Amino acid sequence: EVQLVQSGAEVKKPGESLKISCKGSGYSFNTYWIGWVRQMPGKGLEWMGIIYPDDSDIRYSPSVQGQVTISADKSINTAYLHWSSLKASDTAMYFCARADGIRSWFDPWGQGTLVTVSS
C-alpha cells in the first residue's frame, strides 16, 4: 500500500525554527514528486511547492518562496518542510502528497501535520 506518514503536531513560538517530515512507503520514493499544501484554519488548500527526491529538483509557489525550504533525503524516503523563523501566520495544517509528474495530480495525501505558532 502506498502511504505517506507525516510527523506529529507541533506547537512553537514566533521566531523558532521547525522542520516537519513526510515519509513515503510502498513505492519507489525517488521517482515520484512530493508536494506540500497548506491549509490555514477554516480556509482552503494552497500549494506551497514540490520536490523530486531523486535529484532534489524543487519548485516553490511565489507566495512562499524564501519563507520555507523544501528538501528530501532519499536514503530514508523522507521529504521535509523547514522554517527558519516561524510567524503566527504560519499556523496551519500542512499536507504532503505524491504526484507522478510536475503537472499531475496529488495521490495519496499524508494525514497532515498541524503547526501552531503562538507566543
Partner 1 sequence: NFMLTQPHSVSGSPGKTITISCTRSSGSIASNYVQWYQQRPGSSPTTLIFEDTHRPSGVPHRFSGSIDSSSNSASLTISGLKTEDEADYYCQSYDSSTLWVFGGGTKLTVL
Residues in touch with partner 1 (CB under 8 A)? 35, 37, 44-47, 50, 59, 61-63, 95, 97, 102-112
Torsions phi, psi of 89, nearest 5? -70, -5
Q: Which is nearer to partner 1, 53 or 110 (CB)?
A: 110
> 15 and 85 in contact (C-beta within 8 Å)?
yes
Q: Which is nearer to partner 1, 62 or 75 (CB)?
A: 62
Report the run of H or E that residue 64 belongs to, with start and end.
none
Look-up of cell digits 525517488: 30
> 86 and 17 in contact (C-beta within 8 Å)?
yes
Taking residue 55's Cβ as centre, other Cβ atoms within 10 Å add up to 10
Smallest separation (angstroms) from partner 1 to the CB of 45: 5
Smallest separation (angstroms) from partner 1 to the CB of 3: 12
Smallest separation (angstroms) from partner 1 to the CB of 105: 4
Q: Which is nearer to partner 1, 76 or 102 (CB)?
A: 102
Smallest separation (angstroms) from partner 1 to the CB of 89: 19
